[in-house]
């Protein structure tokens, strides 16, 4: 991966250095999971459970989602998810809804980045 590519990741709040460290510096393996992220249904399942007030299921799906975005070093999504999980656990519905909207925006940004990124 070129310096320019790494800089582009960083500009989009992806800690590429940490991500590659997690993937034992295997760029090909990282990019495989990076590129397949939009196909993962954990986010969609979380959205559906959150919208239908299935809070226990939402928590479990959000924890799974956090693990995925954490391993890929999607910093904004991880931080959004962590804060949203706290609000869900504390039953702070109005705060959770605000964070839910931020999570959706940041998810959309990551998907756009992935779809437009070419190596």
What is the per-residue pLDDT across 26-47, written as a single tens digit (0 to 9) for each?
Answer: 999 999 999 999 999 999 999 9
Contact (CB, 8 A) for 107 and 77: yes
Q: What is the pLDDT of residue 92?
A: 84
Q: What is the pLDDT of residue 119?
A: 62
Q: Which domain holds residue 77?
A: 3-116
- The DSSP code for 49 is H
First to last CA, the chain: 8
Domain count within the chain? 1
Separation CA 5–CA 3 (nearest Å): 5
| pTM score, whole prediction | 0.90
What are the 10-residue block averages of pLDDT along the chain, 119 residues in total? 92 96 97 96 95 86 98 97 94 87 95 86
């Amino acid at each position: 991966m070129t310096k320019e590519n790494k800089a582009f990741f960083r500009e989009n709040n992806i800690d590429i250095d940490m991500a590659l460290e997690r993937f034992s510096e295997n760029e090909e393996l990282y990019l495989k999971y990076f590129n397949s992220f939009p196909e993962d249904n954990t986010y969609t399942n979380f959205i559906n459970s959150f919208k239908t007030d299935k809070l226990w299921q939402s928590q479990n799906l959000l924890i799974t989602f956090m693990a995925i975005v954490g391993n890929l070093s999607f910093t904004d999504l991880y931080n959004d998810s962590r804060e949203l999980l706290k609000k869900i656990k504390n039953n702070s519905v109005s705060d959770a809804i605000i964070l839910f909207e931020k999570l959706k925006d940041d998810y959309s940004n990551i998907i756009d980045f992935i779809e437009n990124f070419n190596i």
